[in-house]
């Protein structure tokens, strides 16, 4: 019978060593092994799997789900019929909605949500919900007159009870907050990056993003939803014969990425965002071109390697969002 030693300290300097973890019981192939961390056993035994090539020395890597927020990579070695092992156990970040680190929240985009607007959507990203509308005016701001170009501008607001506690309406304060100004300018810049203003002609498209429920990522959801609302409004101009083709040159979407408890996470909800060590927002096109990056080391600084990982994760997230945009705007033939 093939036996696994009841305990073994990895060699000094071994990269597989993770202090505090230990194994109990020496099982045969196919039996189970219990794992403890700093003396506290996991509630569920861990299956042990191995593969052998006759009596020759070989090894198999087995990804094991330890539940309770931990994962392990078990390296089982067979030499002379006796099992030896090394291990690499590391804590895995536990997300309140049971998502994996690189998983988006459920996303739904409902087109034509407001019948009176030229273009509109209700976008839901997890528990965050934003109504985005696009309205067309046959005028442009003073600084754009007689240029032959159009303009895209945006406004952003939140309902008082979009948050856990009531937030007074900004109109009652007499002016928009600095945060509101920042977000609506970001939305406008993001959309202008993918629009041919010359082809739009001297008209303005007003984008209004109203958050009706906030659970993190309201600005990124607003950009993603606003792109669809804008596309729907431009499509109506084409259908009416006002424009010969859509000025939309590409799709644009946005996503948040952060470092929480040392783990890089995609699409932060409010609970994660409020305690993130690093908080980033990425605005990107379908062609993986960057429109804007917002990055803040809230509690801990980050290095080039972490930044590279966050960019990779953001690209994957943005492409998933753009796939949903394409599903709605499939008749626009936007050029990537």
Can you list the alpha helix ranges (DSSP code H) found in the chain? 178-192, 197-200, 218-239, 270-273, 304-328
Contact present, 206 and 137 (Cβ < 8 Å): yes
pLDDT at 43: 38
Which candidate, 211, 226, 213, 146, places its Cα nearest to that of 180? 211
What is the rounded distance in angstroms from the CA atom of residue 51 to the CA atom of residue 53? 7
Q: Which residues pair with 136 in a beta bridge?
A: 205
DSSP annotation of 32 reads E
From the CB of residue 216, how many other CB atoms can be counted at a distance below 10 Å? 23
Structure tokens at 107: 């996303």
CA distances in angstroms from 138 to 93, 149, 194, 239, 248, listed in the order given:
51, 12, 20, 17, 18
Instruction: In the chain, list all ranges with CATH 3.30.230.70.
Output: 107-328
Label residues 157-180 b or e (16+ Cβ within 10 Å = b): bbbeebeeeeeeeeeeeeebeeee
Which 3 state secondary structure label does DSSP give 11?
coil
Helix (H) or strand (E) holding 102, with range, is none
Model confidence pTM above 0.85? no
Residue segments in the chain with a per-residue pLDDT below the cut of 70: 1-94, 331-336
Structure tokens at 7: 């305990």
The tally of CA atoms less than 13 A away on the side-chain side of residue 316 is: 13
> Beta strands 128-137 and 119-125: pairing type?
antiparallel
pLDDT at 331: 56
CATH (residue range 107-328): 3.30.230.70
pLDDT at 31: 38
What is the rounded distance in angstroms from the CA atom of residue 277 to the CA atom of residue 266? 14
């Amino acid at each position: 019978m093939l036996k696994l030693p009841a305990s073994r300290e990895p060699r000094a300097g071994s990269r597989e060593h993770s202090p505090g973890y230990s194994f109990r019981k020496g099982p045969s192939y196919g039996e189970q092994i219990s794992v403890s961390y700093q003396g506290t056993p996991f509630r569920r035994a861990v299956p042990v799997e191995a593969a052998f090539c006759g009596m020759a020395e070989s090894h198999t890597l087995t990804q094991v789900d330890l539940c309770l927020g931990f994962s392990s990579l078990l390296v089982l070695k067979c030499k002379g019929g006796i099992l030896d092992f090394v291990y690499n156990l590391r804590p895995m970040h536990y997300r309140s909605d049971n998502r994996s680190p690189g998983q988006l929240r459920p996303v739904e985009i409902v087109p034509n949500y407001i019948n009176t607007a030229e273009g509109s959507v209700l976008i839901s990203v997890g528990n965050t919900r934003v109504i985005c509308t696009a309205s067309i005016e046959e005028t442009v701001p003073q600084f754009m007159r007689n240029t032959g170009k159009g303009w895209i501008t945006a406004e952003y607001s939140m309902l008082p009870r979009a948050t856990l506690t009531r937030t007074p309406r900004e109109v009652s304060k007499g002016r928009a907050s600095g945060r509101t100004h920042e977000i609506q300018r970001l939305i406008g810049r993001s959309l202008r990056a993918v629009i041919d203003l010359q082809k739009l002609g001297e008209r303005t498209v007003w984008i209004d993003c109203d958050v009706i429920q906030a659970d993190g990522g309201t600005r990124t959801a607003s950009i993603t939803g606003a792109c669809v609302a804008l596309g729907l409004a431009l499509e109506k101009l084409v259908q009416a014969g006002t424009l010969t083709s859509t000025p939309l040159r590409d799709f644009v979407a946005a996503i948040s990425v952060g470092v929480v408890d040392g783990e890089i996470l995609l699409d932060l909800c409010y609970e994660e965002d409020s305690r993130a060590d690093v908080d980033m927002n990425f605005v990107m096109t379908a062609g993986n071109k960057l429109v804007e990056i917002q990055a803040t080391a809230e509690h801990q600084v980050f290095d080039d390697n972490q930044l590279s990982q966050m960019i990779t994760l953001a690209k994957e997230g943005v492409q998933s969002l753009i796939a949903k945009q394409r599903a709605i705007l499939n008749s626009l033939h936007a050029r990537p």
